[in-house]
Amino acid sequence: MKSMIRKMGRQAVSLVNFESMNRVPPLRGLQEVKGEIVKGMENVWYEYVPASYAEGKKVPLVVQLHGGGNDGKRWAGMTVWHEMAERKGCIVVYPNSPDYECWTCDDRDIQYLLDLIRLLCRKYTIDETRIYMQGMSNGDQMTLAFSMVHPEVLAAAGFATGPSDEEVLDGDLPCGALPIIQMRGEMDINWKLTPETKDIYENRYHMNDLNREIWMDVNGCGDALPELSILGKDNFLYYPGKQAPILSWEIASMGHREPVYGAQVFWDRLYSGCARVDGKIQLTETEKPISGDEDTVLISMGSHLAYRKNACIPIGRPGTGDVRVFVPADLPHFCPVYTGEMAETEVMCAPAEFFSAICGADIRYEEAGEICHLVFPNGREIVLRSGAVLFEDAGEYRALQKPCVLLCGTFFVPVGELCQMLFGSYVSVADDVMCISSHWACLGRYTARVVCGILGGDMRARKRE
């Protein structure tokens, strides 16, 4: 009998509900607790106590706040904090908001969380020098409301995808320093868009700025530039601070979510090194400290500077030596259909001096600047020609997809592509900012915006599609 299966012609395409595929390890041992904390109200919260807990041995406490439209029980099933509790020996509590699925972020909710923390400190042997709070979206807003009023209770606070706007903050500032980590999704935008919206990311990114900046003075961050580290899709900007650090964490390609591995990052990158002893913040090295990437460089359109680790490095003359984006002229083409071929797309170029400032190459020009010789410290020589994709690499001919351009006395090079060809670099571009790294580094739009501001570059509006 012949098989009929082969004749069915099934395509290797399947419909799946990605929205529901956010699984975390099974949650066991979570206890529902009820009691009157807010007067006249039955409050509900969920406690997770690790198997290693023993009365008399002090353990950290992590307070996890759910987002709008959620509750403590459902939120507990969307994070790995219970797994971290087992590994790190801490207690985690997931409180329900007093109002149905929503934190009002008012004095009542602040007092509710304060009283809940006090209750847990009486119930368990909590290390009161190591109490942490973190929330997502509406829980982010509630964490901010609490930490601005009661920073003295916490050793650190974490925020995820829920910055507050000017109207909510109403001019208030934190009353004390606090180590904080702010997680943001690159593609998290305000959903109330109109045809007049010029930049779909502007409002949310402005709120990100505001929520970081309100902590800058009280944490003693001053004008110091942040340490830049991009590890895969995780973009970190670390502001040390004389009193307490601020860690900005953006995830490229993520929207209005908290990553399922968020607990790992919050703990490893901040909480593990923060305590509050006798009311004063005490910092030690975290389990995974952030230090700037020596092998990662960012350039911005309209700037003659490059950014590496926590420093601005001149790579050209101001004005004539700024990084530029060259756009193909709208001229008749031999092929009437545009396919995005190399001659039909734009390119970001930097002065050849980029390779001197960043790589230590010696530069020599010939033919009134039309030919550029780059000699790297290892003796490798590259010969580039203006108006040509052809170049020589150690005496062999090779070709770029985009040409070098001599303009107003500056020899511009498509540095991203050339670094890829010469060094195998990872290159990513986000809104007129380019990241070049020797490891996988995917630049996020918000990090690009912050770096663009530091470099004094330009950024075109990101229009609504």
CATH number at residue 164: 3.40.50.1820
pLDDT of residue 62: 98
Indicate the residue among 240, 259, 283 that finishes a domain: 283
**Whether 192 and 114 share a structural domain:** yes
Q: What are phi and psi of 8, to 5 degrees?
A: -75, -20
Indicate the residue among 240, 255, 283 that finishes a domain: 283
Tell me whether residue 316 is in a domain. yes
pLDDT of residue 4: 58
Q: Using one digit for the tens of pLDDT, what is the confidence trace for 93-122?
A: 999 999 999 999 999 999 999 999 999 999
pLDDT of residue 463: 67
Q: What are 432's two structure tokens? A: 């007129």
What's the pLDDT band for 330 if we cut at 50, 70, 90?
A: confident
Amino acid code (one letter) for 397: Y
Window from 68-77, 263-272, 303-312, 335-344 with minimum mean pLDDT:
335-344
Q: What are phi and psi of 434, to 5 degrees?
A: -115, 135
C-alpha span between 42 and 27 (Å, rounded):
24
C-alpha span between 405 and 346 (Å, rounded):
13
Indicate the residue among 255, 283, 311 that finishes a domain: 283
pLDDT of residue 10: 64
In this predicted model, which residue has the larger pLDDT, 322 or 201? 322
In this predicted model, which residue has the larger pLDDT, 14 or 300? 300
Torsion of CA 100, 102, 105, 111, to 10 degrees: 40
**Direct distance between the N- and C-terminal alpha carbons of the chain, in angstroms, rounded to an integer:** 54
pLDDT of residue 452: 98
Cα angle value 203/159/236 (rounded, 5°):
80
Task: Answer yes or no: is pLDDT of 338 > 80.
Answer: no
**Whether 254 and 330 share a structural domain:** no
Using DSSP, state whether 443 is helix, strand or coil.
coil
Cα angle value 253/259/262 (rounded, 5°):
130
Window from 27-41, 294-308, 327-341, 435-449 with minimum mean pLDDT:
327-341
Amino acid code (one letter) for 259: P
**Whether 320 and 176 share a structural domain:** no
Tell me whether residue 447 is in a domain. yes
The percentage of residues in the chain with a pLDDT greater than 90, rounded to a whole number, is 85
Helix and strand element counts for the chain (H, E): 10, 26
344 Cα distance to chain centroid? 32
Q: Using one digit for the tens of pLDDT, what is the confidence trace for 198-220?
A: 888 888 999 999 999 999 999 99
C-alpha span between 80 and 188 (Å, rounded):
22
Range of the structural domain that residue 250 is part of: 24-283
Amino acid code (one letter) for 7: K
Tell me whether residue 359 is in a domain. yes
Tell me whether residue 32 is in a domain. yes
**Whether 100 and 227 share a structural domain:** yes
**Whether 260 and 128 share a structural domain:** yes
What average pLDDT does the structure give for the chain? Answer: 94
Q: What is the mean pLDDT of residues 341-349?
A: 90
Q: What is the mean pLDDT of residues 174-197?
A: 89
Q: Give the residue from 370, 238, 233, 244 showing the smallest Cα distance to 292.
A: 238
Using DSSP, state whether 185 is helix, strand or coil.
strand
**Whether 314 and 265 share a structural domain:** no
**Whether 52 and 162 share a structural domain:** yes
- Indicate the number of domains in the chain: 2
Task: Answer yes or no: is pLDDT of 356 > 70.
Answer: yes
Q: What are 332's two structure tokens? A: 């008749």
Tell me whether residue 2 is in a domain. no
What's the pLDDT band for 8 if we cut at 50, 70, 90?
A: low
**Whether 247 and 351 share a structural domain:** no
Task: Answer yes or no: is pLDDT of 381 > 70.
Answer: yes
Provide the greatest CA pair distance for the chain. Answer: 86
Rg of the chain in Å (alpha carbons): 26
Q: What pairs with residue 44 in β-bridges?
A: 34
Contact 343, 318 (CB under 8 A): no
CATH number at residue 442: 3.30.457.10
pLDDT of residue 196: 78
Q: What are phi and psi of 116, to 5 degrees?
A: -65, -40
User: Can you list the alpha helix ranges (DSSP code H) found in 160-225?
Assistant: 166-169, 202-216
C-alpha span between 409 and 293 (Å, rounded):
32
Q: Give the residue from 54, 63, 183, 83 showing the smallest Cα distance to 131.
A: 63
**Whether 265 and 327 share a structural domain:** no
Q: What pairs with residue 192 in β-bridges?
A: none
Task: Answer yes or no: is pLDDT of 9 > 70.
Answer: no
Q: What is the mean pLDDT of residues 264-292?
A: 97
**Whether 301 and 265 share a structural domain:** no
Tell me whether residue 8 is in a domain. no
Cα angle value 376/378/382 (rounded, 5°):
40
Q: What are 220's two structure tokens? A: 């003693």
**Whether 264 and 355 share a structural domain:** no
Q: What is the mean pLDDT of residues 372-378?
A: 98
Residue 229 gets which letter from DSSP? E
Give me the sign of the Cα torsion angle 143, 144, 146, 151.
Answer: positive
Tell me whether residue 257 is in a domain. yes
Task: Tokens 């304060």: give the residue.
Answer: 114
Number of C-beta neighbours around residue 172 at 10 A: 13
C-alpha span between 347 and 359 (Å, rounded):
21
Window from 16-30, 40-54, 326-340 with minimum mean pLDDT:
326-340
**Whether 277 and 331 share a structural domain:** no
Tell me whether residue 340 is in a domain. yes
